[in-house]
Amino acid sequence: MDLSRLLTQRLYAWLLLIAGGAAVFLLQPRLPIRFSDFLLPTASIGLVIAAWWWSRAPEQRPTRQDAFAAALLVGVVLLLALNRYLPETSRITPSRPPDLGALIAGMAAAAGAAVALWRVLREVSVGGRTGVLIILIIGLFILLKTELLAGILSAAWRGATGQDVQIASALDLNWLGFSYIAFRLIHTLLDRRSGLLPALALRDYAVYALFPPALIAGPIDRADRFAAELASERRWDADRWARGGARIAVGVFKKFVLADTLALGLALNAVNVDQAQGAGALWLLLYGYALRLFFDFSGYSDIAIGVGIWLGIQLPENFDRPYFKTTLTAFWQSWHKTLGDWARFYVFSPLTRALLRRDRKPSPAVIVGIGHLATMLLIGLWHGVTINFAVWGLWQAAGLYAHKRWSDATRGWYRGLNQKPSQKRLWTLLTWFITFHYIVLGWVWFALPHFDDSLRALGRLFGVGW
Protein backbone atom coordinates (compact mmCIF):
# COMPACT_ATOMS: atom_id res chain seq x y z
CA MET A 1 0.00 0.00 0.00
CA ASP A 2 1.47 3.40 -0.97
CA LEU A 3 1.66 6.35 1.44
CA SER A 4 -1.25 8.26 -0.09
CA ARG A 5 -3.54 5.23 0.19
CA LEU A 6 -2.42 4.62 3.78
CA LEU A 7 -3.24 8.22 4.71
CA THR A 8 -6.63 7.85 3.06
CA GLN A 9 -7.31 4.67 5.06
CA ARG A 10 -6.50 6.40 8.33
CA LEU A 11 -8.52 9.48 7.45
CA TYR A 12 -11.47 7.28 6.54
CA ALA A 13 -11.52 5.68 10.00
CA TRP A 14 -11.69 9.17 11.54
CA LEU A 15 -14.56 10.09 9.22
CA LEU A 16 -16.42 6.95 10.32
CA LEU A 17 -15.86 7.97 13.95
CA ILE A 18 -17.44 11.37 13.31
CA ALA A 19 -20.30 9.74 11.40
CA GLY A 20 -20.97 7.29 14.24
CA GLY A 21 -20.94 10.03 16.85
CA ALA A 22 -23.36 12.12 14.81
CA ALA A 23 -25.60 9.19 13.84
CA VAL A 24 -26.74 8.44 17.40
CA PHE A 25 -28.20 11.97 17.49
CA LEU A 26 -29.49 12.30 13.94
CA LEU A 27 -31.21 8.88 13.87
CA GLN A 28 -32.72 9.33 17.33
CA PRO A 29 -36.49 9.95 17.00
CA ARG A 30 -38.00 12.99 18.68
CA LEU A 31 -39.16 12.26 22.23
CA PRO A 32 -41.83 14.05 24.31
CA ILE A 33 -39.60 14.62 27.36
CA ARG A 34 -37.64 17.84 27.05
CA PHE A 35 -33.98 17.32 26.04
CA SER A 36 -34.22 13.51 26.31
CA ASP A 37 -33.62 12.95 22.59
CA PHE A 38 -30.29 14.78 22.99
CA LEU A 39 -29.20 13.53 26.40
CA LEU A 40 -29.78 9.83 25.64
CA PRO A 41 -27.46 9.86 22.58
CA THR A 42 -24.95 11.81 24.67
CA ALA A 43 -25.13 9.01 27.23
CA SER A 44 -24.48 6.47 24.45
CA ILE A 45 -21.21 8.21 23.60
CA GLY A 46 -20.26 8.46 27.26
CA LEU A 47 -20.90 4.75 27.79
CA VAL A 48 -18.79 3.86 24.75
CA ILE A 49 -15.83 5.90 26.02
CA ALA A 50 -16.20 4.42 29.52
CA ALA A 51 -16.47 0.86 28.19
CA TRP A 52 -13.33 1.34 26.09
CA TRP A 53 -11.44 2.60 29.14
CA TRP A 54 -12.69 -0.30 31.27
CA SER A 55 -11.94 -2.88 28.58
CA ARG A 56 -8.34 -1.86 27.91
CA ALA A 57 -5.65 -4.43 28.54
CA PRO A 58 -3.58 -3.62 31.67
CA GLU A 59 -0.52 -2.88 29.53
CA GLN A 60 -2.46 -0.71 27.04
CA ARG A 61 -1.67 2.91 27.84
CA PRO A 62 -3.88 5.69 26.40
CA THR A 63 -2.22 7.47 23.49
CA ARG A 64 -2.50 10.89 21.92
CA GLN A 65 -4.64 9.31 19.24
CA ASP A 66 -7.04 8.07 21.93
CA ALA A 67 -7.19 11.53 23.49
CA PHE A 68 -7.91 13.02 20.08
CA ALA A 69 -10.67 10.47 19.46
CA ALA A 70 -12.30 11.33 22.81
CA ALA A 71 -12.01 15.05 22.04
CA LEU A 72 -13.53 14.47 18.61
CA LEU A 73 -16.54 12.65 20.08
CA VAL A 74 -17.06 15.38 22.67
CA GLY A 75 -16.68 17.94 19.89
CA VAL A 76 -19.44 16.24 17.89
CA VAL A 77 -21.76 16.47 20.92
CA LEU A 78 -21.00 20.15 21.51
CA LEU A 79 -21.25 21.04 17.83
CA LEU A 80 -24.67 19.42 17.59
CA ALA A 81 -25.68 21.19 20.81
CA LEU A 82 -25.27 24.49 18.95
CA ASN A 83 -28.49 23.60 17.13
CA ARG A 84 -30.16 25.09 20.20
CA TYR A 85 -29.41 28.53 18.81
CA LEU A 86 -30.77 27.84 15.31
CA PRO A 87 -34.35 28.36 14.13
CA GLU A 88 -36.46 25.22 14.42
CA THR A 89 -36.63 24.84 10.63
CA SER A 90 -32.82 24.82 10.41
CA ARG A 91 -32.05 22.29 13.18
CA ILE A 92 -30.76 18.84 12.33
CA THR A 93 -31.29 17.47 15.86
CA PRO A 94 -34.71 15.94 16.67
CA SER A 95 -35.60 18.85 18.96
CA ARG A 96 -33.99 21.80 20.69
CA PRO A 97 -30.84 20.71 22.59
CA PRO A 98 -30.26 21.75 26.23
CA ASP A 99 -28.41 24.88 27.26
CA LEU A 100 -24.75 24.58 26.23
CA GLY A 101 -23.40 25.62 29.64
CA ALA A 102 -25.63 23.16 31.49
CA LEU A 103 -24.67 20.42 29.03
CA ILE A 104 -20.95 21.02 29.53
CA ALA A 105 -21.41 21.07 33.31
CA GLY A 106 -23.38 17.82 33.19
CA MET A 107 -20.82 16.11 30.97
CA ALA A 108 -18.01 17.27 33.26
CA ALA A 109 -19.87 15.95 36.32
CA ALA A 110 -20.48 12.58 34.62
CA ALA A 111 -16.83 12.35 33.58
CA GLY A 112 -15.74 13.24 37.12
CA ALA A 113 -17.98 10.54 38.59
CA ALA A 114 -16.57 7.98 36.13
CA VAL A 115 -12.99 8.95 37.01
CA ALA A 116 -13.76 8.75 40.73
CA LEU A 117 -15.27 5.30 40.30
CA TRP A 118 -12.26 4.19 38.27
CA ARG A 119 -9.88 5.35 41.00
CA VAL A 120 -11.82 3.36 43.56
CA LEU A 121 -11.75 0.25 41.36
CA ARG A 122 -8.33 0.43 39.72
CA GLU A 123 -6.76 -1.85 42.33
CA VAL A 124 -9.54 -4.38 41.84
CA SER A 125 -9.08 -7.28 39.42
CA VAL A 126 -9.96 -6.84 35.76
CA GLY A 127 -12.97 -9.08 36.30
CA GLY A 128 -14.20 -6.94 39.17
CA ARG A 129 -13.76 -3.67 37.29
CA THR A 130 -15.45 -4.84 34.13
CA GLY A 131 -18.17 -6.47 36.21
CA VAL A 132 -19.17 -3.11 37.69
CA LEU A 133 -19.73 -1.58 34.26
CA ILE A 134 -21.53 -4.69 33.01
CA ILE A 135 -23.91 -4.46 35.98
CA LEU A 136 -24.47 -0.76 35.24
CA ILE A 137 -25.31 -1.46 31.59
CA ILE A 138 -27.61 -4.35 32.51
CA GLY A 139 -29.27 -2.14 35.13
CA LEU A 140 -29.95 0.53 32.51
CA PHE A 141 -31.26 -2.15 30.19
CA ILE A 142 -33.70 -3.50 32.81
CA LEU A 143 -34.79 0.03 33.70
CA LEU A 144 -35.62 0.87 30.09
CA LYS A 145 -37.15 -2.50 29.17
CA THR A 146 -39.43 -2.80 32.23
CA GLU A 147 -42.59 -0.81 31.58
CA LEU A 148 -43.23 0.02 35.24
CA LEU A 149 -39.67 1.19 35.94
CA ALA A 150 -39.43 3.12 32.68
CA GLY A 151 -42.74 4.81 33.48
CA ILE A 152 -41.43 5.86 36.91
CA LEU A 153 -38.26 7.26 35.33
CA SER A 154 -40.33 9.08 32.71
CA ALA A 155 -42.51 10.66 35.40
CA ALA A 156 -39.45 11.75 37.40
CA TRP A 157 -37.80 13.23 34.29
CA ARG A 158 -41.02 15.01 33.32
CA GLY A 159 -41.28 16.43 36.82
CA ALA A 160 -37.70 17.70 36.68
CA THR A 161 -38.39 19.50 33.39
CA GLY A 162 -41.75 20.93 34.48
CA GLN A 163 -43.86 18.72 32.21
CA ASP A 164 -47.09 16.84 32.90
CA VAL A 165 -46.26 13.69 34.88
CA GLN A 166 -49.77 12.28 34.43
CA ILE A 167 -49.05 11.26 30.85
CA ALA A 168 -45.66 9.68 31.61
CA SER A 169 -45.05 6.50 29.63
CA ALA A 170 -42.29 3.98 29.01
CA LEU A 171 -42.53 5.02 25.35
CA ASP A 172 -41.10 8.41 26.37
CA LEU A 173 -37.68 6.74 26.69
CA ASN A 174 -37.15 5.29 23.22
CA TRP A 175 -33.34 5.27 23.36
CA LEU A 176 -32.32 4.52 19.78
CA GLY A 177 -29.76 1.76 19.39
CA PHE A 178 -29.15 1.23 23.11
CA SER A 179 -30.01 -2.49 23.00
CA TYR A 180 -27.45 -3.16 20.28
CA ILE A 181 -24.81 -0.82 21.71
CA ALA A 182 -25.24 -2.48 25.12
CA PHE A 183 -24.65 -5.98 23.73
CA ARG A 184 -21.54 -4.80 21.87
CA LEU A 185 -20.12 -3.16 24.99
CA ILE A 186 -20.88 -6.17 27.19
CA HIS A 187 -19.21 -8.40 24.60
CA THR A 188 -15.98 -6.37 24.79
CA LEU A 189 -16.03 -6.24 28.59
CA LEU A 190 -16.57 -10.00 28.87
CA ASP A 191 -13.85 -10.68 26.32
CA ARG A 192 -11.47 -8.48 28.32
CA ARG A 193 -12.23 -10.60 31.41
CA SER A 194 -11.32 -13.75 29.50
CA GLY A 195 -8.34 -12.19 27.74
CA LEU A 196 -9.83 -12.63 24.26
CA LEU A 197 -10.23 -8.95 23.35
CA PRO A 198 -7.44 -7.54 21.17
CA ALA A 199 -6.01 -4.12 22.00
CA LEU A 200 -8.23 -1.52 20.33
CA ALA A 201 -7.70 2.20 19.99
CA LEU A 202 -10.64 4.33 21.14
CA ARG A 203 -11.24 5.39 17.55
CA ASP A 204 -11.68 1.82 16.31
CA TYR A 205 -13.67 0.80 19.40
CA ALA A 206 -16.10 3.69 19.01
CA VAL A 207 -16.52 3.12 15.26
CA TYR A 208 -17.38 -0.51 16.08
CA ALA A 209 -19.90 0.37 18.79
CA LEU A 210 -21.54 3.25 16.91
CA PHE A 211 -21.31 2.07 13.28
CA PRO A 212 -24.34 3.87 11.79
CA PRO A 213 -25.83 1.10 9.57
CA ALA A 214 -25.99 -1.33 12.51
CA LEU A 215 -27.39 1.07 15.12
CA ILE A 216 -31.11 0.47 14.61
CA ALA A 217 -31.43 -3.29 14.18
CA GLY A 218 -27.97 -4.85 14.16
CA PRO A 219 -26.25 -7.08 13.23
CA ILE A 220 -24.29 -7.47 16.48
CA ASP A 221 -20.77 -7.84 15.14
CA ARG A 222 -17.73 -8.97 17.11
CA ALA A 223 -15.15 -6.29 17.90
CA ASP A 224 -12.15 -8.29 16.66
CA ARG A 225 -13.81 -9.14 13.35
CA PHE A 226 -15.01 -5.56 12.84
CA ALA A 227 -11.58 -4.11 13.66
CA ALA A 228 -10.00 -6.39 11.06
CA GLU A 229 -12.54 -5.16 8.49
CA LEU A 230 -11.82 -1.55 9.44
CA ALA A 231 -8.07 -2.06 9.04
CA SER A 232 -8.32 -3.90 5.73
CA GLU A 233 -7.62 -2.23 2.42
CA ARG A 234 -10.81 -1.33 0.59
CA ARG A 235 -11.49 -0.40 -3.00
CA TRP A 236 -14.56 1.51 -4.10
CA ASP A 237 -15.34 0.20 -7.55
CA ALA A 238 -18.44 -0.47 -9.60
CA ASP A 239 -18.79 -3.96 -8.13
CA ARG A 240 -18.91 -2.63 -4.55
CA TRP A 241 -21.54 -0.02 -5.42
CA ALA A 242 -23.58 -2.60 -7.31
CA ARG A 243 -23.45 -5.21 -4.51
CA GLY A 244 -24.32 -2.68 -1.84
CA GLY A 245 -27.09 -1.12 -3.90
CA ALA A 246 -28.65 -4.48 -4.72
CA ARG A 247 -28.65 -5.48 -1.05
CA ILE A 248 -30.20 -2.16 -0.02
CA ALA A 249 -32.88 -2.50 -2.70
CA VAL A 250 -33.81 -5.98 -1.45
CA GLY A 251 -33.96 -4.68 2.13
CA VAL A 252 -36.10 -1.68 1.21
CA PHE A 253 -38.53 -3.93 -0.67
CA LYS A 254 -38.76 -6.37 2.25
CA LYS A 255 -39.22 -3.70 4.92
CA PHE A 256 -41.19 -0.91 3.26
CA VAL A 257 -43.23 -2.90 0.75
CA LEU A 258 -43.78 -6.40 2.14
CA ALA A 259 -43.53 -5.90 5.92
CA ASP A 260 -45.35 -2.56 6.01
CA THR A 261 -48.09 -3.86 3.72
CA LEU A 262 -48.64 -6.88 5.96
CA ALA A 263 -48.76 -4.53 8.95
CA LEU A 264 -51.84 -2.80 7.47
CA GLY A 265 -54.18 -5.42 8.91
CA LEU A 266 -52.85 -8.58 7.26
CA ALA A 267 -50.76 -9.56 10.31
CA LEU A 268 -51.97 -10.52 13.78
CA ASN A 269 -52.18 -7.64 16.25
CA ALA A 270 -54.08 -6.59 19.37
CA VAL A 271 -56.89 -5.04 17.29
CA ASN A 272 -57.66 -7.64 14.64
CA VAL A 273 -57.28 -10.65 16.94
CA ASP A 274 -60.89 -10.13 18.06
CA GLN A 275 -62.11 -9.33 14.54
CA ALA A 276 -61.07 -12.65 12.99
CA GLN A 277 -64.04 -14.73 11.87
CA GLY A 278 -63.02 -18.24 12.85
CA ALA A 279 -59.85 -20.22 13.39
CA GLY A 280 -58.91 -20.20 9.69
CA ALA A 281 -58.86 -16.40 9.53
CA LEU A 282 -56.83 -16.28 12.73
CA TRP A 283 -54.27 -18.69 11.28
CA LEU A 284 -53.94 -16.48 8.19
CA LEU A 285 -53.30 -13.45 10.40
CA LEU A 286 -50.69 -15.41 12.34
CA TYR A 287 -48.94 -16.49 9.12
CA GLY A 288 -49.04 -12.85 8.05
CA TYR A 289 -47.42 -11.80 11.30
CA ALA A 290 -44.67 -14.41 10.93
CA LEU A 291 -43.89 -13.13 7.43
CA ARG A 292 -44.09 -9.51 8.52
CA LEU A 293 -41.62 -10.14 11.34
CA PHE A 294 -39.17 -11.84 8.99
CA PHE A 295 -39.41 -9.20 6.25
CA ASP A 296 -39.08 -6.41 8.83
CA PHE A 297 -36.03 -7.78 10.67
CA SER A 298 -34.27 -9.23 7.65
CA GLY A 299 -35.07 -6.14 5.58
CA TYR A 300 -33.35 -3.90 8.12
CA SER A 301 -30.39 -6.29 8.16
CA ASP A 302 -30.16 -6.23 4.36
CA ILE A 303 -30.16 -2.43 4.38
CA ALA A 304 -27.48 -2.35 7.10
CA ILE A 305 -25.29 -4.86 5.25
CA GLY A 306 -25.73 -2.99 1.97
CA VAL A 307 -24.82 0.38 3.48
CA GLY A 308 -21.90 -1.32 5.23
CA ILE A 309 -20.66 -2.58 1.85
CA TRP A 310 -20.84 0.97 0.51
CA LEU A 311 -18.88 2.17 3.54
CA GLY A 312 -16.25 -0.52 3.09
CA ILE A 313 -17.30 -2.73 6.03
CA GLN A 314 -18.70 -6.22 5.46
CA LEU A 315 -21.16 -6.82 8.30
CA PRO A 316 -22.05 -10.42 9.24
CA GLU A 317 -25.15 -12.07 7.83
CA ASN A 318 -28.12 -12.18 10.17
CA PHE A 319 -30.72 -14.37 8.42
CA ASP A 320 -30.43 -17.54 6.33
CA ARG A 321 -33.88 -18.71 5.18
CA PRO A 322 -34.97 -19.49 8.76
CA TYR A 323 -38.55 -20.55 7.95
CA PHE A 324 -37.26 -23.34 5.71
CA LYS A 325 -35.34 -25.09 8.50
CA THR A 326 -36.45 -28.52 9.67
CA THR A 327 -35.42 -28.25 13.33
CA LEU A 328 -35.73 -25.54 15.95
CA THR A 329 -31.96 -25.68 16.51
CA ALA A 330 -31.35 -24.98 12.81
CA PHE A 331 -33.90 -22.15 12.96
CA TRP A 332 -31.96 -20.44 15.74
CA GLN A 333 -28.75 -20.85 13.77
CA SER A 334 -30.35 -18.87 10.94
CA TRP A 335 -32.68 -16.33 12.62
CA HIS A 336 -31.08 -13.16 14.01
CA LYS A 337 -27.87 -15.15 13.92
CA THR A 338 -25.64 -12.58 15.58
CA LEU A 339 -27.97 -12.27 18.58
CA GLY A 340 -28.17 -16.06 18.88
CA ASP A 341 -24.39 -16.38 18.60
CA TRP A 342 -23.94 -13.71 21.28
CA ALA A 343 -26.31 -15.51 23.66
CA ARG A 344 -24.71 -18.92 23.05
CA PHE A 345 -21.19 -17.59 23.50
CA TYR A 346 -21.83 -15.52 26.63
CA VAL A 347 -24.73 -17.35 28.31
CA PHE A 348 -25.23 -20.95 27.14
CA SER A 349 -21.58 -22.04 26.89
CA PRO A 350 -20.28 -20.44 30.13
CA LEU A 351 -23.32 -21.63 32.08
CA THR A 352 -23.14 -25.22 30.89
CA ARG A 353 -19.36 -25.32 31.43
CA ALA A 354 -19.83 -24.02 34.98
CA LEU A 355 -22.42 -26.71 35.69
CA LEU A 356 -20.13 -29.40 34.28
CA ARG A 357 -17.30 -28.29 36.61
CA ARG A 358 -19.39 -28.72 39.75
CA ASP A 359 -18.49 -31.58 42.07
CA ARG A 360 -22.11 -32.67 42.13
CA LYS A 361 -23.00 -31.83 38.58
CA PRO A 362 -26.52 -32.39 37.24
CA SER A 363 -27.21 -34.88 34.48
CA PRO A 364 -26.31 -33.81 30.93
CA ALA A 365 -30.01 -33.46 30.11
CA VAL A 366 -30.57 -31.09 33.03
CA ILE A 367 -27.47 -29.06 32.12
CA VAL A 368 -28.67 -28.63 28.54
CA GLY A 369 -32.15 -27.74 29.75
CA ILE A 370 -30.85 -25.08 32.13
CA GLY A 371 -28.62 -23.69 29.38
CA HIS A 372 -31.47 -23.41 26.89
CA LEU A 373 -33.76 -21.90 29.53
CA ALA A 374 -31.29 -19.17 30.51
CA THR A 375 -30.36 -18.40 26.90
CA MET A 376 -33.87 -18.13 25.52
CA LEU A 377 -35.17 -16.22 28.54
CA LEU A 378 -32.40 -13.69 27.97
CA ILE A 379 -33.28 -13.35 24.28
CA GLY A 380 -36.96 -12.99 25.14
CA LEU A 381 -36.44 -10.38 27.86
CA TRP A 382 -33.99 -8.52 25.61
CA HIS A 383 -37.06 -7.49 23.61
CA GLY A 384 -38.80 -6.26 26.77
CA VAL A 385 -39.21 -7.29 30.40
CA THR A 386 -42.80 -8.54 30.14
CA ILE A 387 -44.65 -11.75 30.94
CA ASN A 388 -45.27 -12.42 27.25
CA PHE A 389 -41.61 -12.16 26.26
CA ALA A 390 -40.68 -14.40 29.21
CA VAL A 391 -43.27 -16.99 28.13
CA TRP A 392 -41.95 -16.79 24.57
CA GLY A 393 -38.47 -17.52 25.92
CA LEU A 394 -39.81 -20.51 27.87
CA TRP A 395 -41.60 -21.72 24.72
CA GLN A 396 -38.39 -21.60 22.70
CA ALA A 397 -36.35 -23.24 25.48
CA ALA A 398 -38.87 -26.08 25.78
CA GLY A 399 -38.76 -26.65 22.02
CA LEU A 400 -34.96 -26.68 21.88
CA TYR A 401 -34.76 -29.05 24.84
CA ALA A 402 -37.36 -31.40 23.33
CA HIS A 403 -35.50 -31.41 20.01
CA LYS A 404 -32.20 -32.19 21.74
CA ARG A 405 -33.72 -35.10 23.65
CA TRP A 406 -35.47 -36.42 20.54
CA SER A 407 -32.38 -36.19 18.33
CA ASP A 408 -30.25 -37.95 20.96
CA ALA A 409 -32.79 -40.75 21.30
CA THR A 410 -33.31 -41.28 17.55
CA ARG A 411 -29.79 -40.75 16.18
CA GLY A 412 -29.41 -44.39 15.13
CA TRP A 413 -32.85 -44.51 13.53
CA TYR A 414 -32.14 -41.29 11.62
CA ARG A 415 -28.88 -42.71 10.23
CA GLY A 416 -30.87 -45.65 8.93
CA LEU A 417 -33.33 -43.25 7.31
CA ASN A 418 -30.54 -42.04 5.01
CA GLN A 419 -30.82 -45.39 3.23
CA LYS A 420 -34.52 -44.78 2.47
CA PRO A 421 -34.73 -41.65 0.26
CA SER A 422 -38.51 -41.54 -0.11
CA GLN A 423 -39.11 -41.93 3.62
CA LYS A 424 -36.43 -39.36 4.37
CA ARG A 425 -38.10 -36.82 2.06
CA LEU A 426 -41.41 -37.43 3.81
CA TRP A 427 -39.75 -37.09 7.21
CA THR A 428 -38.02 -33.87 6.14
CA LEU A 429 -41.36 -32.41 5.04
CA LEU A 430 -43.01 -33.45 8.31
CA THR A 431 -40.23 -31.99 10.48
CA TRP A 432 -40.35 -28.75 8.50
CA PHE A 433 -44.12 -28.53 9.03
CA ILE A 434 -43.80 -29.16 12.78
CA THR A 435 -40.86 -26.78 13.21
CA PHE A 436 -42.49 -23.97 11.22
CA HIS A 437 -45.74 -24.16 13.14
CA TYR A 438 -44.00 -24.40 16.50
CA ILE A 439 -42.16 -21.17 15.65
CA VAL A 440 -45.31 -19.50 14.32
CA LEU A 441 -47.34 -20.40 17.41
CA GLY A 442 -44.59 -18.88 19.53
CA TRP A 443 -45.02 -15.56 17.70
CA VAL A 444 -48.45 -15.20 19.34
CA TRP A 445 -46.61 -14.10 22.49
CA PHE A 446 -44.78 -11.48 20.40
CA ALA A 447 -47.77 -10.20 18.46
CA LEU A 448 -50.09 -9.59 21.41
CA PRO A 449 -49.13 -7.45 24.41
CA HIS A 450 -51.09 -9.20 27.16
CA PHE A 451 -50.88 -12.74 28.52
CA ASP A 452 -54.66 -13.31 28.62
CA ASP A 453 -55.08 -12.18 25.01
CA SER A 454 -52.28 -14.49 23.87
CA LEU A 455 -53.72 -17.46 25.74
CA ARG A 456 -57.19 -16.81 24.29
CA ALA A 457 -55.75 -16.47 20.77
CA LEU A 458 -53.89 -19.78 21.10
CA GLY A 459 -57.13 -21.47 22.13
CA ARG A 460 -59.06 -19.95 19.24
CA LEU A 461 -56.44 -21.12 16.74
CA PHE A 462 -57.53 -24.65 17.66
CA GLY A 463 -61.25 -23.89 17.78
CA VAL A 464 -61.54 -23.30 21.53
CA GLY A 465 -63.12 -20.15 22.98
CA TRP A 466 -65.09 -18.81 20.03
pLDDT at 277: 86
- Taking every pair of C-alpha atoms in the chain, what is the biggest distance, in angstroms? 76
Among 205, 231, 257, the domain boundary falls at 231
Residues 139 and 205 in one domain: yes
Residues 260 and 302 in one domain: yes
CA 405 to chain centre: 30
Among 310, 330, 357, the domain boundary falls at 310
Band (pLDDT 50/70/90 cuts) for residue 232 is confident
| DSSP conformational letter for 249 | H
Residue 7 has pLDDT above 80, yes or no: no
Least confident of 50-59, 80-89, 231-240: 231-240
Residues 17 and 149 in one domain: yes
Residue 134 has pLDDT above 90, yes or no: yes
- Average pLDDT along the chain: 93
Residues 117 and 28 in one domain: yes
Residues 424 and 343 in one domain: yes
Residue 208 within a domain:
yes
Band (pLDDT 50/70/90 cuts) for residue 122 is confident
Query: Can you give the three-state secondary structure of 271-301, one letter per residue?
Result: CHHHCCCCHHHHHHHHHHHHHHHHHHHHHHH
CA 308 to chain centre: 17
Residue 421's alpha-carbon distances to 169, 376, 407, 411, 429, in angstroms, are 57, 35, 19, 17, 12
Residues 341 and 426 in one domain: yes
Residue 466 within a domain:
no
More confident residue, 360 or 317: 317
User: Quick check: 224 and 198 in contact, CB under 8 A?
Assistant: yes
Residue 11 within a domain:
yes
Residue 317 within a domain:
no
Residues 221 and 250 in one domain: no
Number of domains comprising the chain: 3
Among 231, 262, 285, the domain boundary falls at 231
Residues 224 and 269 in one domain: no
Residue 407 within a domain:
yes
Band (pLDDT 50/70/90 cuts) for residue 464 is confident
Residue 355 has pLDDT above 50, yes or no: yes
Band (pLDDT 50/70/90 cuts) for residue 330 is very high
Domain span at residue 26?
A: 3-231
Residues 90 and 138 in one domain: yes
Residue 316 within a domain:
no
> Averaged over 157-172, what is the pLDDT?
93
Residue 377 within a domain:
yes
Residue 315 within a domain:
no
More confident residue, 214 or 419: 214
Residues 187 and 65 in one domain: yes
Residues 198 and 277 in one domain: no
pLDDT at 3: 43
Cα–Cα distance, 281 to 289 (Å, whole number): 12
Band (pLDDT 50/70/90 cuts) for residue 145 is very high
Residues 93 and 186 in one domain: yes
